[in-house]
């Protein structure tokens, strides 16, 4: 039944050879890879104003464009720097591989941990912001925002488990739709602002946000800058996916970087400009874009179109994390730093475990933070900028080592990128420390240490299991003497008889073992056993503590028969098998408990001898036949 | 570690022979068995007023004593009727056994289901009421009432898993303390009322409860009666525990019934009387007893003593359910109508599974009903009265069948009891149907049907496993030919070599089986295998769907070697064993998956061949030695 549901939900299982990737050109490829970066504009301006308005009130609208400019400069440096990484890693790779190959492995792991945390936050933040776009349009849905967000995540999880084709052109449309609607908002807004002049009062006069009257401080501006850095996240996506472009791939990827940067500058810059004119007030009920759209277009059709495209592009951005995170985990898993299961392809060839981990982690964050984008932002960006820093530092070192043509210029560009992103990490860590960044600063080292511990475990096991080639040929495989077999039983029944017959086919040394837990049981069993007229001895032990496993292992250890057979002792457990799972719950399942417990004992082979309860006739016939023959 | 925690929390494991019971006399035994019935007074008066006050306002205090009188008459009939059951069942037994033996088994199951539901409600109601006594005394704790209630349940669960000695005299003290404090409240209250005359206005003028002005209707009075019936629950406890009394047990138990009835009449009657004088108003913040205590004694030491003893006796009442429910379940389990696990004694000889089920079910109810006694009451009592009815009907039939001396009188008494309790069931079902009784009326039939289904399952299996005595002697146990062995492997390593050696000790027909899930793996394995120079063939199959179990079973089914061996095919699964549980999570545990899947296939024995990763030296030495010899 569960299998059936799985098939319905996820589609038929796919064979391994269906694994292939479509290549795309710049026009269709850009929107797929850029949705994360471009969609950030849907909350980045809100976040800058959230820091400023409650502190310095109307003065915020003077400072916010300056902060946006600083962020755009940061973006330009990053773009130039990343274009060089594209040339250096034409096969893609991403920050994890760049850091691992050029720096020490531990820096690679820091990047892996940072990116993992950020992928999870990308989903949580994008889905929260997407839900905010929905509830800004339809305020009645606000109380249900967490359910809506979790529903989005569930949809995305199922979609990705089914295997959403990453290169489907269908997914390019929302990014262009968003760009066009934001562009029209900026153009119409700018024209209107010329007509009306700058507004003196904010859009929302009944806002729950208080207007601060504090003085402007450097710390405050840096905090606003840190919040706005969310706009730059997602820039690394193109660099990770170079081989997915049509040839010439490197050239196309570099062109895509230029176009991405232009798109972010226009949208982010445009919204920031409109904010200085229309004075939207950040709050958790209405996004800045929704406030601007309502003022500029009125609450008509355009308002709802803008909210709709915003929601869709944010969902797309979350979906890029669903595409990226499982692949990142699978790469790290192949290196042995996270559990192997993350490198296994599932039912439909996706890395199912990674997809599920992402969904659960992001869902938990959304529940804990009540689906509030603004509360999640302080945790965001620090991971991305850590990986930016380490990737660029790695490339920079690469130039120093390999010294290719023009390496001094290249090293300067990437060195500058390293420096600027490193400073940004420090700024975010300090200004956002108390409001949440500390969580990330605690979690990343924990993840890195766990990764090292996991790798250590795998190495130890691999070493333990490995047989060096020169030894293989000298291994002795000669057969051992007949094994010693014990069958623990509770009573004498058809199942036990079948097991006994099997035991006799394995060995001449078979013993049946019973633990008497309540008085009188043993005598009944002994009488019945005598009737069987077999040479197999019945051993009965008392246990005051009703402890079957303990009595059995004690017997095996004390038994001279057993210890004589140096190698393995075989314990045969009769196990009946019922058709329906609920029926299993009606039995003590002693055999399974014994099996699990015995696995921890050295050199005991645990064999489950199944006995199907259903399909009576055939099995009974079997026993009956034996009676006639005997 | 978990074992260690369990030992700390629950104490050392106890041997079976520690199982014994202390007998008690009437003075010490009564309070133990009566706490459930007597404690009901802590909420019964509240419940009557809850029905009346919002409907008919001050007129309530005129009608409530009449309703209380009806309930006391009901109690008297029950007491006389139950004294006769004591004589008929001197070995105890309770309603389940009485109904099962004298009526059809399905009535026994109805009683079993009703009592189970009511035990769970006893815990939920008593703990909620006990928590209400605490929060009435310390209103600041009111928002934490659910946590407090769950904490009480957790304490009781641990206590009962440890095995609280049911006969400990320590537990008799709270019942007497409660009786004494309630008695002093009634006496002082009565004296004061003579001084002051009847109050015209209710105690709580700022009460959230509105005062109704509707006319008195029969339906309303019957609803109030139904609510008040909670006062009578717990009366069956003495009858179930007759053999726990010192000799003459029957006489002592009958005496206990008289004393119990007197105690309930005095407390319940007394509180009802005080309510007519002091006009307490039912509400969920302050219990009636708390309101009376505050008016009569002021908020001094006596107020807190009364709240304290109330809390403790309510906890005691919940504890009687913890003693009774697991025993009831174990009796039904021995008859095969509930899962066998409920008949197993745990670690400390208690029926641990029953205790845990009770705790989880009652805890869930408290969370769902927000710890509000008043909301739980409509579900309560209906089960108790169903079991009263059926137990008395059973006894009544017994008199008709056996016709002992004076049977006409006896049958009349129990017949009257049956009739009155049956009418009460109908009244409760009708008047409380919409406010919750329907839940119980739906759940009890579902439980009964499940019980029948479970019993059917057990019968089917028993029949299937049974070997008639005349057949045992004719069974043929002759050994079969050497078994056919398959070892599924993923690579050639030390673990596989060990398994291979074991396989050769079992059989001459051994095959190693590999599924190639990614291209190129098979060639590597083949080359390594060739170096081993063994006659064991390596079978490699492709699987486009990465399905190891499917390929294996397909191979077994298609394989002529396998099918030739009519009986069992042996699958040996190399399984490495790591020391720490978290390490297991790092592996695919393919062997365990294969083992579980294969169990459902007919005639495949699944053997787990363990390989301990730790304690390197000893196992390695083993392999090395073999190399030197070979």
Nearest-by-Cβ selection for A493 from B14, B340, B466: B466
User: Sign (positive/negative) of CA torsion A29, A33, A38, A43?
Assistant: positive
User: Is A609 within 8 Å of B339 when comparing Cβ atoms?
Assistant: no
Residue percentage of chain A with pLDDT more than 90: 31
Smallest CA–CA distance, residue A355 to chain B, in Å, is: 17
In this prediction, residues B25-44 reach a mean pLDDT of: 86
Biggest alpha carbon distance in chain B? Answer: 109
Nearest-by-Cβ selection for A627 from B458, B476, B583: B476
Residue of chain B with shortest Cα separation from A536: B477
Smallest CA–CA distance, residue A324 to chain B, in Å, is: 22
Q: Give strand ranges (E) for B538-603.
A: 538-542, 569-577
pLDDT value of residue A445: 95
Q: In whole angstroms, give the CA distance from residue B172 to residue B153.
A: 20
User: Is A465 within 8 Å of B576 when comparing Cβ atoms?
Assistant: yes
Smallest CA–CA distance, residue B607 to chain A, in Å, is: 4
Smallest CA–CA distance, residue A163 to chain B, in Å, is: 15
Smallest CA–CA distance, residue B603 to chain A, in Å, is: 7
Phi, psi of A210, deg, nearest 5: -80, 150
Smallest CA–CA distance, residue B148 to chain A, in Å, is: 24
What is the overall mean pLDDT for chain B?
84
pLDDT value of residue B365: 93
- From chain B, pick out residues whose CB is under 8 angstroms from the CB of A588: 340-341, 344
pLDDT value of residue A211: 72
Q: How many CA atoms lie within 13 A of B465 on its CB side?
A: 23
Torsion of CA B428, B432, B433, B438, to 10 degrees: -80
**Whether the predicted pLDDT of B470 surpasses 90:** no
In this prediction, residues B145-161 reach a mean pLDDT of: 90
In this prediction, residues B213-240 reach a mean pLDDT of: 86
A590-604, B226-240, B513-527: which range is least confident on average? Answer: A590-604
By three-state DSSP, how is residue A568 classified? Answer: coil
Return the residue in B337, B340, B459, B467 with the most chain A beta carbons within 10 A, the one to mutate for interface testing: B467
By three-state DSSP, how is residue B575 classified? Answer: strand
- From chain B, pick out residues whose CB is under 8 angstroms from the CB of A586: 339-340, 454, 457-458
Neighbours of A14 (CB within 10 A): 20
Residue percentage of chain B with pLDDT more than 90: 30
In this prediction, residues B138-160 reach a mean pLDDT of: 89
Q: A-B interface: how many C-beta pairs under 8 angstroms?
A: 237
User: Is B531 within 8 Å of A595 when comparing Cβ atoms?
Assistant: no
In this prediction, residues B193-212 reach a mean pLDDT of: 63
Element (H, E) at A525: helix A521-532
User: Is A546 within 8 Å of B345 when comparing Cβ atoms?
Assistant: yes
Contact between residue B525 and residue A467 where contact means Cβ atoms under 8 Å apart: no
Smallest CA–CA distance, residue B504 to chain A, in Å, is: 5
Residue of chain A with shortest Cα separation from B618: A602
User: Is B567 within 8 Å of A472 when comparing Cβ atoms?
Assistant: no
User: Is A493 within 8 Å of B465 when comparing Cβ atoms?
Assistant: yes
Residue percentage of chain A with pLDDT more than 70: 90
Q: In whole angstroms, give the CA distance from residue A89 to residue B128.
A: 66
Return the residue in A337, A501, A577 with the most chain B beta carbons within 10 A, the one to mutate for interface testing: A501
Sheet of A484-488: strands edge to edge? A538-542, A509-516, A484-488, A569-577, A604-612, B604-612, B569-577, B484-488, B509-516, B538-542
What is the ipTM score, two decimals?
0.75
Contact between residue B181 and residue B309 where contact means Cβ atoms under 8 Å apart: yes
Return the residue in B342, B455, B463, B607 with the most chain A beta carbons within 10 A, the one to mutate for interface testing: B607
Nearest-by-Cβ selection for A608 from B15, B576, B605: B605
Q: In whole angstroms, give the CA distance from residue A271 to residue A293.
A: 11
**Whether the predicted pLDDT of B56 surpasses 60:** yes
**Whether the predicted pLDDT of A200 surpasses 70:** no
User: Is B604 within 8 Å of A612 when comparing Cβ atoms?
Assistant: no
* pLDDT bucket at A581, cuts 50 / 70 / 90: confident
Q: In whole angstroms, give the CA distance from residue B403 to residue B405.
A: 7
- From chain A, pick out residues whose CB is under 8 angstroms from the CB of B478: 501, 504, 630
User: Is A501 within 8 Å of B480 when comparing Cβ atoms?
Assistant: yes
Two tokens, residue B62: 């005129």
Return the residue in B19, B546, B551 with the most chain A beta carbons within 10 A, the one to mutate for interface testing: B546
The tens digit of pLDDT for each residue in A490-544 reads 888 888 888 888 888 888 889 999 998 777 888 888 988 888 888 899 999 888 7
pLDDT value of residue B480: 62
- From chain B, pick out residues whose CB is under 8 angstroms from the CB of A457: 578, 583, 586
**Whether the predicted pLDDT of B542 surpasses 90:** no
Nearest-by-Cβ selection for A577 from B493, B595, B599: B599
Nearest-by-Cβ selection for A472 from B479, B495, B531: B531
The tens digit of pLDDT for each residue in A234-276 reads 888 888 778 778 888 889 989 999 999 999 999 999 999 999 8
User: Is A607 within 8 Å of B606 when comparing Cβ atoms?
Assistant: yes
User: Is B478 within 8 Å of A630 when comparing Cβ atoms?
Assistant: yes
User: Is A603 within 8 Å of B585 when comparing Cβ atoms?
Assistant: no
User: Is A457 within 8 Å of B586 when comparing Cβ atoms?
Assistant: yes
Beta bridge partners of residue B484, listed in sequence order: B509, B569
Smallest CA–CA distance, residue A15 to chain B, in Å, is: 5
pLDDT value of residue A258: 93
Nearest-by-Cβ selection for A585 from B13, B339, B616: B339
* Structure-model confidence comparison of residues A196 and B351, the more confident one: B351
Q: In whole angstroms, give the CA distance from residue B605 to residue A64.
A: 72
Two tokens, residue B125: 């109601």
Contacts of B462 (CB under 8 A, 6+ apart): none
Two tokens, residue B231: 């006062």
Nearest-by-Cβ selection for B546 from A16, A497, A567: A16
Return the residue in A490, A527, A532, A609 with the most chain B beta carbons within 10 A, the one to mutate for interface testing: A609
Q: In whole angstroms, give the CA distance from residue B521 to residue B529.
A: 12
The tens digit of pLDDT for each residue in B549-581 reads 888 888 887 776 555 555 678 999 988 888 777
User: Is A472 within 8 Å of B492 when comparing Cβ atoms?
Assistant: yes
Beta bridge partners of residue A569, listed in sequence order: A484, A604
Nearest-by-Cβ selection for B479 from A479, A505, A572: A505
User: Does B518 sit behind a cis peptide bond, omega within 30 degrees of 0 on the bond before it?
Assistant: no
Q: In whole angstroms, give the CA distance from residue A146 to residue A369.
A: 9
The tens digit of pLDDT for each residue in A544-579 reads 777 788 888 888 877 765 555 556 789 999 888 887
DSSP letter at B370? T
**Whether the predicted pLDDT of B303 surpasses 70:** yes
Would you list the DSSP string of A77-114? Answer: HHHHHHHHHHHH-TT--HHHHHHHHHS-HHHHHHHHHH
The tens digit of pLDDT for each residue in A101-124 reads 899 899 999 999 999 999 999 999
pLDDT value of residue B18: 66
Nearest-by-Cβ selection for B13 from A475, A505, A545: A545
pLDDT value of residue B560: 62
In this prediction, residues B98-118 reach a mean pLDDT of: 91
- Cα distances (Å, whole numbers) of residue B484 to A502, A608, B18, B557: 11, 16, 49, 13
The tens digit of pLDDT for each residue in B362-374 reads 999 999 888 888 8
Apex A380 CA angle, A378 and A385, nearest 5:
115
Nearest CA-CA partner of B559 in B497, B489, B509: B509
Q: Which of A147-156, A211-220, A618-627 has the highest mean pLDDT?
A: A147-156
Phi, psi of B466, deg, nearest 5: -70, 140
* pLDDT bucket at A285, cuts 50 / 70 / 90: confident
- Cα distances (Å, whole numbers) of residue A416 to A66, A261, B556: 21, 18, 64
pLDDT value of residue A206: 54
- Cα distances (Å, whole numbers) of residue A497 to A493, A536, A623, B457, B565: 6, 12, 9, 22, 18
- Cα distances (Å, whole numbers) of residue A250 to A92, A246, A387, B209: 10, 9, 21, 76
User: Is B476 within 8 Å of A532 when comparing Cβ atoms?
Assistant: no
Smallest CA–CA distance, residue A449 to chain B, in Å, is: 15
pLDDT value of residue B625: 37
**Whether the predicted pLDDT of A214 surpasses 80:** no
Beta bridge partners of residue A575, listed in sequence order: A610
Two tokens, residue A619: 């099995």
Nearest-by-Cβ selection for A502 from B469, B547, B567: B567
Smallest CA–CA distance, residue A503 to chain B, in Å, is: 8
Phi, psi of B318, deg, nearest 5: -60, -40
User: Is A532 within 8 Å of B626 when comparing Cβ atoms?
Assistant: no
**Whether the predicted pLDDT of B167 surpasses 70:** no
User: Is B544 within 8 Å of A506 when comparing Cβ atoms?
Assistant: no
- From chain B, pick out residues whose CB is under 8 angstroms from the CB of A576: 461, 465
The tens digit of pLDDT for each residue in A62-99 reads 999 999 999 999 999 999 988 988 888 887 768 888 89
Phi, psi of B557, deg, nearest 5: -65, -35
In this prediction, residues A595-600 reach a mean pLDDT of: 80
pLDDT value of residue B627: 46
DSSP letter at B245? B
Smallest CA–CA distance, residue B445 to chain A, in Å, is: 19
| DSSP alpha helix (H) spans, A247-377 | 249-278, 288-297, 301-334, 352-368, 373-376
Residue of chain A with shortest Cα separation from B19: A544
Phi, psi of B441, deg, nearest 5: -65, -20
Q: In whole angstroms, give the CA distance from residue B121 to residue A290.
A: 52
């Amino acid at each position: 039944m569960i299998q059936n549901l799985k098939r319905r939900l996820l589609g038929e299982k796919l064979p391994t050879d269906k694994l292939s990737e479509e290549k795309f050109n710049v026009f269709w490829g850009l929107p797929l890879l850029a949705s994360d970066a471009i969609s950030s504009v849907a909350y980045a301006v809100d976040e800058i104003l959230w820091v400023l308005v409650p502190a310095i009130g109307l003065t915020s609208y003077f400072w916010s464009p300056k902060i946006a400019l600083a962020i755009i400069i940061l973006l330009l440096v990053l773009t130039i720097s990343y274009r060089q990484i594209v040339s250096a890693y034409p096969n893609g790779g991403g920050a994890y591989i760049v850091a691992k190959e050029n720096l020490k492995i531990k820096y690679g792991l820091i990047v892996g941990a940072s990116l993992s945390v950020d992928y999870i936050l990308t989903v949580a933040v994008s889905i929260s912001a997407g839900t905010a776009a929905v509830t800004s349009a339809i305020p009645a849905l606000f109380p249900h925002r967490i359910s809506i967000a979790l529903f989005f995540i569930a949809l995305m999880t199922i979609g990705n488990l089914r295997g959403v084709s990453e290169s489907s052109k269908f997914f390019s449309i929302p990014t262009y739709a968003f760009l066009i609607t934001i562009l029209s908002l900026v153009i119409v807004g700018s024209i209107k602002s010329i007509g009306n002049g700058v507004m003196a009062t904010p859009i929302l006069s009944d806002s729950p946000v208080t207007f601060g009257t504090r003085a402007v401080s450097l710390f405050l501006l840096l905090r606003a800058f840190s919040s706005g850095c969310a706009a730059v996240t997602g820039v690394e996506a193109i660099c990770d996916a170079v081989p997915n472009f049509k040839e010439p791939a490197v050239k196309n990827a570099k062109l895509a970087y230029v176009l991405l940067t232009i798109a972010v500058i226009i949208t982010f810059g445009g919204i920031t400009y409109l904010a200085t004119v229309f004075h939207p007030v950040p709050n958790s009920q209405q996004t800045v874009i929704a406030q601007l759209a309502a003022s500029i277009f009125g609450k008509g059709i355009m308002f709802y179109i803008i909210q709709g495209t915003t929601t869709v592009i944010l969902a797309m951005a979350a979906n890029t994390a669903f595409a990226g995170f499982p692949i990142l985990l699978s790469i790290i898993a192949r290196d042995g730093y996270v559990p192997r299961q993350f490198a296994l392809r599932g039912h439909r060839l996706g890395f199912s475990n990674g997809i599920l981990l992402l969904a659960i982690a992001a869902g938990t964050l959304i529940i804990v933070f009540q689906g509030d984008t603004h509360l999640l932002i302080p945790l965001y960006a620090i991971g991305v900028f850590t990986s930016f820093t380490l990737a660029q530092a790695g490339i920079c070192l690469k130039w120093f080592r390999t010294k290719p043509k023009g390496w001094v210029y290249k090293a300067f560009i990437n060195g500058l990128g390293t420096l600027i992103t490193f400073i940004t990490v420090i700024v975010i860590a300090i200004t956002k420390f108390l409001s949440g960044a500390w969580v990330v600063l605690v979690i990343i080292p924990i993840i890195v240490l766990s990764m090292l511990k996991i790798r250590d475990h795998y190495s130890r096991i691999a070493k333990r299991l490995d047989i060096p080639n020169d030894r293989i040929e000298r291994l002795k495989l000669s057969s051992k003497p007949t094994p010693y077999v014990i069958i623990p039983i509770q009573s004498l029944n058809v199942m036990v008889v079948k097991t006994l017959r099997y035991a006799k086919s394995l060995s001449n040394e078979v013993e049946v073992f019973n633990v008497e837990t309540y008085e009188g049981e043993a005598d009944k069993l002994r009488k019945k056993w005598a009737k069987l007229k077999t040479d197999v001895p019945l051993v009965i032990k008392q246990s005051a503590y009703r402890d079957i496993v303990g009595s059995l292992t004690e017997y095996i250890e004390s038994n001279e028969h057993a210890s004589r057979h140096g190698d393995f002792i075989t314990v045969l457990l009769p196990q009946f098998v019922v058709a329906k799972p609920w029926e299993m719950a009606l039995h003590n399942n002693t055999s399974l408990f014994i099996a699990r417990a015995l696995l921890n004992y050295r050199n005991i082979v645990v064999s489950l001898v199944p006995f199907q309860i259903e399909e009576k006739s055939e099995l009974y016939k079997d026993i009956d036949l034996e009676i006639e023959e005997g």
